[in-house]
Structures are given as C-alpha cells and as structure tokens.
Amino acid sequence: MSVAVLLLAAGSGQRFGGDIPKQYVQVAGQAILLHTLRSLEQEPRIAMVQPVIAAGDAIFANIMAGKNFSFQILDAVEGGVERSISMQRGLAALPANVDMVAVHDAARPMTSQAVLKDVLDVAFEYGAAIPAIAVHDTIKRVDGCGKVLETPHRACLRAVQTPQVARLDWFQAALAKESDRLHLHTDDASVLEAAGFPVYVSQGDMNNRKITTQHDLQWMQDFLEAKV
C-alpha cells in the first residue's frame, strides 16, 4: 500500500495577516511548512508528498532547496481559490500507483506520531479516516440572524483535524460526483461523506493545531520551548 500526502499550502491566510503566507513564517529557526514536513517523517508508511502551492509562490522553492526528507517530494502544483480545488489539482498530479491519500494542512505543524499512525491504521481498515477530538463547549446551530435553531447532543460532536485520509479511488470518485458543489466543502472528508463513502474518526490530539491566527503562532512558540 503506497501512501501519498497532499500538502495543501495554497491558501491566502487572510485571517493570519502579515507579509508572507503563514506556512512560511519562521518558528524556532525554520518555516512552519518545514516543521509540518518533519512531523510527517515520523510515519514510515508515507512514501511521497505532493505539495500544492499558490500561483506565483516564490518562497516555497527557496525554503525546500537543499533539504532531504525520508519521503519523496514531488514537483509542486498550483492550487485554486477553494481548498477543494487545491485538493483536486494535487490528486490529479499523483502517480497512478498511489493507494491511499492523506490530505494535510501545511499550516498544521505539530502532528504527533500517534495521530499519524492511528489515522492511517483506521483508513487502512475502513477506507477513510480523519483525526478527531471531543468538543468541550456546547455547540449551537444558528440561522443568519443569530437565532439558535438547534443544540446538537455534545457527546455526538467531534472537532476534526488533518491529515484526512482515504483511498485514492474514493477521493477521485467523490470529487467527480461532487464537482458542482466543491465550493461548499470546508474539509476533505465532507466531499467523501456527500458522495456516500463511509468516513471513520481516529484519535486526534489537542496539539495537532492549525496555525490560523497570531495567537496560534504564539502557542506554537511556547509549545516548542516547553519541549526542549
């Protein structure tokens, strides 16, 4: 079974602000994207990584120059305006011998070995898996005016993370089936769910956090300092 990671790095990072895309911000001496790639090296089943970057990105190649990894790095492809379009373009560039695809945020740098192992184990067993954690706050569903419509039972809710893993042929079939609705999907598994494929949760981790705001960046700095 050959596992490929689609490393999504084509977002505009508007919520983060700053002069350069968040995945290229330096933390503890290296870009966040390199922290992400180093964390992926903890899982020996990952054979290759397909980077997906924004059109005109001049930073990625500089950051990667002269670096070696335990997996093969394929030539980067250009992403699109929606995450699902970036995912679709990355999938299209993968070699045909790939069996399992893990779609991962470039801006999620602290993924543990246990999270990687569990999500692949569950995906190998059921065909698709996503790391998830229980939610501690009660979650409300509201309408456009802020009126509460529903309070889903908290025990049934999960906050999900990446890598989101599925068989390559499932992702391909789901993207084809959902091609008119790709803009509605905010994560990769929801494309599979909408197309009728079963997706299972694996063990997520509070530290498998996406760097979205300056507050997250400060958290990452503190987390790395506490580790040394």
Q: Is 185 among the residues that bind ligand C5P (CB under 6 A)?
A: no
Cβ–Cβ < 8 Å for 22, 107: yes
CA distance 64 to 216: 24
Token look-up 């769910």 returns 193
Q: Assess contact for 143 and 192: CB atoms under 8 A.
A: no
Encoded one letter per residue, x for contact with ligand C5P by CB under 6 A and - for no contact, window 1-20 reads -------xxxx---------
Shortest distance in whole angstroms from residue 147 CB to ligand C5P: 27
C-alpha count within 13 angstroms, C-beta hemisphere, residue 63: 23
Nearer to ligand C5P by Cβ, of 154 and 181: the residue is 181
Scan residues 189-228 and list those touching ligand C5P (CB under 6 A). 210, 212
Binding segment for ligand C5P (CB under 6 A), chosen from 39-47, 76-84, 118-126, 169-177, is 76-84
Confirm or reject binding of residue 79 to ligand C5P (CB under 6 A).
Answer: yes
> Which residues, 6+ apart, have CB-to-CB distance to 64 below 8 Å?
73
What is the 8-class DSSP label of residue 227?
A: H
Residue 66 token pair: 């002269």
Hey, which residues between 149 and 178 contact ligand C5P (CB under 6 A)? none
- What is the total count of residues that contact ligand C5P (CB under 6 A)? 17
> Interface with ligand C5P by CB under 6 A: which residues?
8-11, 23, 52, 79-83, 86, 105-107, 210, 212
